[in-house]
Amino acid sequence: MQKLPKLFIYLLGIIFVINLIQSYFTDLIFDEAYYWHYAQNMAWGYFDHPPMVAFLVKLSSFFFEGELGVRFMSCLLSIGTLIFIWLVIDNPKKKDYVLHFFVLTFSMTLLNAYGFFTLPDTPLLFFTAVFLYVYKKFITAPSVVLAIILGLVMSALIYSKYHAVLVIIFILLSNIKLVLNKYAWLAVFVALLGYLPHFLWLYENDFVSIKYHLFERPNRAYEFNDYTVGFFLNLLALFGFTFFWVYKALWKTKGTDAFNRALLFLTYGTILFFFISSFNRRIQTQWIIVISISLAIIAFNYMLENENAKKWIYRMGLVNIVLLVFVRFILVFEEISPLHYESHGNKEWAASISDRVGDTPVVFENSYRNAPMYAFYSGNTSFSLNNVMYRRNQYSIDDSESKVQHKRVLYVSQYLSKGDIAVDLPKQKKGFGVYMDNFESFRKLRAILDESEISLKNDSPIELKIYNPYDFDIAINKLKYSVVYHTQYKRPEEIIGITPILKNPDLTVLKAKDTLYYSFTLPTFKMENPGYFKVAISENGLQPGMNGDNIKLVN
């Protein structure tokens, strides 16, 4: 491995210390709190993501408490990302431009932010840089050892985020001759073997993550400005004021060798993939973040050979850094912030509730964000009760529900117009909390239909199965049923109560691990042109849950 220049090590150390300080003084953001919740129950998979982010949080918690106990490993990985980007660049001139390298990379907005935030993109960036480093060595001199390492890195990539499959696919497409390389096949075998535990987890959990991301996620009608124009704005936002010269470097770079082709395929492939996707849904900036790695390499190589690019990327990079440093201060000090950000006031918010309710568990309606944030800062039990107007999440599949069953809880909702106590909610929302002395919910009940689509004109009875996955019996009279009609974009819009006919009317209890058999007819709807429906179950007067899958309605 190359020896790192002293200036490189000094600047790396400074950035590491800055990120540690930032991590310590910045309240968690909501996604970080959610991933902290993941780490309280380690598993080979989670509802929204593979397990790498939870693993990082768990590792961090062994070294520190509080926010640093969530972010410490991210600070380490971000340093590792910079090291591997540097090592991949083989231009001998680079040692004379260490400062330029740091200005370029530190000025990249999300590469900067993920220097301390713990999000799935943090390990994604690190393992993308590692993958490129190992791949460069592999194509130069393939061997069994490098194939095994490459396979393990590919596995770690997809353990970080499902989007990582694009990194692997585009780089492999850049060198199609690898299909004839026995070492490449060994790498693929090792990657699949390493990923087997997550495959098994997906199988045991009915492929819940895949189903959500591909089939259940709600959408809305295409909007050119928000979707496609927004995508191009995200491309600019990744690099701030250096964007012109970074993309010029991309345009000027030619695939003169296998590694350069890999960088170009990764960058152009990712951009093209999400450009096409932008005609279907709104693209989030972090979805395209992997091009920060390939473009950091491309842009720095271009800087080393082009004086004009070197001068302007350095100048504009410094402007970016000044702005990003100001934003970092804003994350900590709300008083200098022009707006309320999600890292502001979370400790105080949690204390404002826990000071009044003590250790009484708090159930938040429709908020996988508020529940873990409250638990993190109060140290008390919380749960997100998700109804059919929201979406499923980790609280839908883990054991959080069992921790509040048959206990006195404070039920908090922004939709209540009155209650026992008024509650300030994050993002400057207001809500109320209502005490429930014997809280009981059955959100894991499953409503199963054999059909995947049904005609809008159907007036025949539809068979309905209700499966009880719990290890206890449930009184049937505690359950009420609804049909929820959704738009063509899978957004719930109209809830209509139904009274399905029980096949065995003598039954009064749904036994543990058992199934009830009903029939029902679709109720008349008022909304225009529904595209889907699902069966929802309400228990003990709570709002209907997300118990059934979306069933397509056809004319």
The pLDDT of residue 1: 63
pTM for the full predicted model: 0.94
- Give the torsion through C-alpha atoms of 552, 279, 164, 143, to 10 deg: 110
Comparing C-alpha atoms, which of 327, 336, 263 is closest to residue 109?
327
Comparing C-alpha atoms, which of 425, 373, 380, 378 is closest to residue 403?
380
The pLDDT of residue 458: 87
Comparing C-alpha atoms, which of 472, 439, 419 is closest to residue 542?
439
Encode pLDDT of 247-285 as tens digits: 999 999 998 899 999 999 999 999 999 999 999 888 999
SS3 50: coil
Fold of 446-554: Immunoglobulin-like (2.60.40)
User: Domain boundaries in the chain?
Assistant: 6-207+222-334, 346-436, 446-554
Encode pLDDT of 49-64 as tens digits: 999 999 999 999 999 9
pLDDT beyond 70 at 532: yes
At 521, the pLDDT band (50, 70, 90 cuts) reads very high
3-state SS of 341-377 is CCCCCHHHHHHHHHHHHCCCCEEEECCCCHHHHHHHH
The pLDDT of residue 308: 95
The pLDDT of residue 337: 87
Is the pLDDT higher at 294 or at 213?
294
The pLDDT of residue 2: 74
pLDDT beyond 70 at 155: yes
At 21, the pLDDT band (50, 70, 90 cuts) reads very high
Burial of 87 (0-12, 13-18, 19+ CB in 10 A): middle
Question: What integer is the mean pLDDT of 154-159?
Answer: 97
The pLDDT of residue 128: 98
pLDDT beyond 70 at 73: yes
The pLDDT of residue 176: 95
Question: What integer is the mean pLDDT of 174-195?
Answer: 96
Question: What integer is the mean pLDDT of 288-306?
Answer: 97
Mean pLDDT of all residues belonging to the chain? 95
The pLDDT of residue 428: 67
Question: What integer is the mean pLDDT of 320-332?
Answer: 95
Question: What integer is the mean pLDDT of 28-57?
Answer: 97
Which token pair is 287?
């979805």
Q: How many residues does the chain have?
A: 555
Give the contacts of 361 (CB within 8 A, at least 6 positions apart): 380, 381, 382, 383, 403, 404, 407, 408, 409, 410, 439
Question: What integer is the mean pLDDT of 182-191?
Answer: 97
Q: What angle do CA 123, 127, 130 make, to 5 degrees?
A: 145
pLDDT beyond 70 at 192: yes
Encode pLDDT of 113-148 as tens digits: 999 999 999 999 999 999 999 999 999 999 999 999
pLDDT beyond 90 at 381: yes
pLDDT beyond 80 at 325: yes
* Straight-line distance from the first to the last Cα atom of the chain, in angstroms, rounded to the nearest whole number: 64
Pairing of strands 429-436, 421-425: antiparallel
pLDDT beyond 90 at 217: no
